[in-house]
A = this chain, B = another copy of it.
Amino acid sequence: MTSANPAPADNAIDIGAHIRDAIREAIVERRLAPGTKLSENDVGSLFNVSRTLVRAALQALSYEGLVNVEKNRGAFVAYPSVTEAQQIFATRRLLEPVILREAAPHIGKAQIKELRELLAEEERLTNQRGAPARRAEIKASGDFHLAVAAISGNAILMRFMDELVARSSLVIALYGQSVISSCGHNEHQQIVDALEKKDVEGACTLMLRHIDHIEADLDLRLTKKGGGLRDAFHV
């Protein structure tokens, strides 16, 4: 009928989407530093595909704000300005309470269970050592916010949050001081507790405070350095 159908299509994975997702993950997990040049040839070699598919992936990421494409110069991992960083978090402060209230009516036992499973995963990673665990923790932290958006049942809100969470990671990579929001996990837990008690407004307050804490950890001056292209995919 309409495009509402997800259409499982082929069991053969879409290689173009795979490249896009791989690069996005590398950016979000901060294996690729902001400003890193993403040469079409180099990326293509890494994934053993032609520039055609790489260009498509980079274009997609540019739409998400994770990559900047400069005409005749190439694509670079986005390097969010201070203004952009502030707008990203300002928008999150506006959107996340709205999402919580929208999700509230759909929250039942199953949803709480789902969120608690994510919390458990976060905790598991927190107690783990090493860089890979830190990266997974970044992703898991974002997944929590996305899961709440998913409960709202509004696909558009989900997409918006998707973009905001991804770009937030980039901002944190650039301007974050402490390694990770170890407090963040605790705050996630409090939010779920409030939701379980049907205290939606309380959850909103906690969410705003949570975002405040993340933003407070930013130092909007320095610029960190990260790994190069080959490093990010350890090839």
Contact = CB atoms under 8 A, between A and B. Distances in A.
Interface of A: 1-4, 7, 9-10, 14, 55-56, 59-60, 63, 68, 70-71, 78-81, 83-84, 87-88, 90-91, 94-95, 98, 102, 154-157, 160, 164
Nearest to A164: B156
A91 B91 CA distance: 14
B14 A87 contact: no
B87 A156 contact: yes
The copy count of this chain in the complex is 2
State the main secondary structure of chain A at its contact with B: helix
B90 A154 contact: yes
Nearest to A71: B9
B4 A81 contact: yes
A81 B2 contact: yes
Given A14-B71, A91-B156, A4 B63 contact: no
Given A1-B81, A91-B157, A94-B102, 19 more contacts: A2-B79, A2-B80, A2-B81, A2-B84, A3-B68, A3-B79, A3-B80, A3-B81, A3-B84, A4-B83, A4-B84, A55-B56, A59-B60, A63-B63, A87-B155, A88-B156, A90-B102, A90-B154, A94-B98
A7 B78 CA distance: 15
